A = this chain, B = another copy of it.
Amino acid sequence: MPRLSKTRYALLGALSVRPGSGYDIKKFCDNTLAFFWAENYGQIYPVLRQLEEEGLVSKETEIAEGRPPRNVYHITDEGRAELNDWLLLPLEPATVRMELILKLVFAADIPATNLIEKLAEKKAKEEKTLEYLVGAEGRLRNGPQDRKGLHLWLAGVSAGKHFASATIAWCEETIAMLQQYGPENRNSE
């Protein structure tokens, strides 16, 4: 038995926040869920159709002049029920695959400078993430205080901040460690 597709629930969740089109959902993923969830069109459109067939969402086609027709989806009561059922299900074991660490542990023959470069890049990326998260936190705190599940969104943002900070700290620590070994290729000793 294959694992449960989580795309279904991500879409249902997005539509539970507000109705929208596949395009809207993609934007929602890229803007709001970005640091903890990703979806792409190749998954969104087929799964949306599937959800509609199952009666978990309903479709309304909006036609406006001079722009492509929009298929706006709304979550149904059955969809909400399905989403809530899933929320209570235990977390499935996720496949861990951290490419940077895998590379690092096998990198005994690689010059330290190359590794430092990779770590610095990673650090820079995480600093951008952290910046974005601080911004998101501010927007949430200054936004409408009756937003549904506001404190849960804040908790999500906080998770991101914790992870980003941990990653940054580790990158710094590891860069410092590698620099101690000197500029030569001394990883194998």
Residues in A lying within 8 Å of B, measured CB to CB: 6, 9-10, 13, 16-17, 33-38, 80, 83-84, 86-88, 90-92, 94-110, 114, 118, 121-122, 146, 148-149, 151-153, 155-156, 158-160, 162-163, 165-167, 169-170, 173-174, 177, 181, 187-189
State the copy count for this chain. 2
B13 pairs with A102, CB closer than 8 A: yes
Q: What are the residues of chain B within 8 A of A91 when measuring CB–CB?
A: 99-100, 103, 118, 121-122
The residue on B at minimum CB distance from A80 is B109
Quick one: closest B residue to A115, CB to CB? B152
Q: Which of B121, B149, B158, B177 contacts A187 (CB 8 A)?
A: B149
Residues of chain B contacted by A106 (CB below 8 angstroms): 9, 13, 16-17, 83, 87, 149
24 inter-chain pairs at a CB distance below 8 angstroms, sorted by A residue, are A10-B102, A13-B106, A36-B96, A36-B98, A36-B101, A37-B96, A37-B98, A80-B109, A83-B106, A84-B110, A87-B106, A87-B107, A91-B103, A91-B118, A92-B99, A104-B152, A104-B155, A104-B156, A105-B149, A107-B149, A108-B148, A159-B170, A163-B167, A165-B166
CB–CB A37/B108 < 8 A: no
B105 engages A87 (CB within 8 Å): no
The closest CB in chain B to the CB of A181 belongs to B151
Residues in chain B near residue A166, CB distance under 8 A: 162-163, 165-166
